[in-house]
Amino acid sequence: MVKIALFFLFGIFLRVFDIKKFHLAKFLNVAIIYVSLPALILYKIPSIRVSTDTLIVLIMPWSLAFILPFIVILFSKRFNLSKKESGSLLLVAVLGNTSFLGVPLIGMFYGETYVPYALLYDQLGSFLILSTYGSIVTAIYSSTSNFHIKTIIKKIILFPPFLALMIALSLHSSNIIDIFEWILKPLSSTLVPFALMSVGYQLKFKVPQDDRKALIIAILIKTIISPTIALLISLAFFNFDTITKVAILEAGMGPMITAAIMANLANLKPRLTNAIVGYGILFSFVTLPIFYKILSFF
């Protein structure tokens, strides 16, 4: 946890002293998406044990993507949130940071053996949900966005980590990846420092007084209600093993930065959205260890 906190704080430190011409945030994100994450997927996924127990990391994110929007809408109506506030919450209070934060934190909580399950949760869950559901939300709640199915499909197919996942799944139980271990292993090891520095670097905390109600609601939904629902679903329908616990903790990860970027591009309360991500991620550093402790009793 100390190592993770130090990388995170180093990202904040770099933001304070960064010279804009370095474009550090862009460099970190490109390195993660095009190098670190694909390398980790190719290195870890082929060794995963496919069974009915692994279905939870595929079912859970889609279940939450169906349930949480209704909760957001109920809160929005109850507290009279504006259309743009609701649109912002439908993105950042529903979608979690399951790769940049999820991978290093799952590795910390349960060890490297369970990182592949976090990757499956992220790529076949969070990423696909962002590409489809996220596009629909921005089209509905923004007057400038349009929903184009061809564009979404192209975006999914050409996304480097998703391409790496398709290759990795096709090479399941194959020894071919072992030949490239000498390069995949060191490249994949860059994900944790790059991802945590990127998250720390991009955090913003300023929020207008009028938006604080929406901020609290979003953090409550993402860091407490979401993992609680995941826990209840797991108790009702799944065997309670470590893979199930991975899915529950992934459900409680702080808000997704990429979802915030999508909300900002659609002009859905950018300052509120950025504050939700910033405070939500920091708050998740408190709630995730609590849920981890709770799960240890099962």
Using alpha carbons, list the distances in angstroms from residue 118 to 112, 139, 152, 217, 281: 10, 29, 23, 26, 17
CB-based contacts of 35: which residues, under 8 Å, 6+ apart? 187, 190
* Number of structural domains in the chain: 1
Q: To which residue do tokens 């999508």 refer?
A: 262
Q: What is the pLDDT of residues 26-55, one digit of tens each?
A: 788 788 888 888 888 888 888 777 677 788
Tokens standing for residue 279 = 């405070």
Determine phi and psi for 173, rounding to 5 degrees.
65, 10
Classify residue 203: in a domain, yes or no: yes
Classify residue 22: in a domain, yes or no: no
Classify residue 49: in a domain, yes or no: yes
Rounded to whole angstroms, how far apart are CA atoms 226 and 228?
A: 5
Q: Is the pLDDT of residue 1 over 90?
A: no
Rounded to whole angstroms, how far apart are CA atoms 273 and 177?
A: 40
Classify residue 23: in a domain, yes or no: no
> Domain containing 267 — which CATH number?
1.20.1530.20
Domain span including residue 275: 2-17+28-295
CB-based contacts of 100: which residues, under 8 Å, 6+ apart? 32, 195, 196, 198, 199, 257
Q: What is the pLDDT of residues 121-169, one digit of tens each?
A: 998 899 889 888 988 888 888 766 566 777 777 777 878 888 888 888 8
Tokens standing for residue 13 = 């430190």
Classify residue 289: in a domain, yes or no: yes
Classify residue 80: in a domain, yes or no: yes
- Helix, coil or strand: residue 277: helix
Classify residue 257: in a domain, yes or no: yes
CB-based contacts of 180: which residues, under 8 Å, 6+ apart? 42
Q: Is the pLDDT of residue 71 over 80?
A: yes
pTM for the predicted model, two decimal places: 0.84
The overall longest dimension of the chain from CA atoms, in Å, is 58
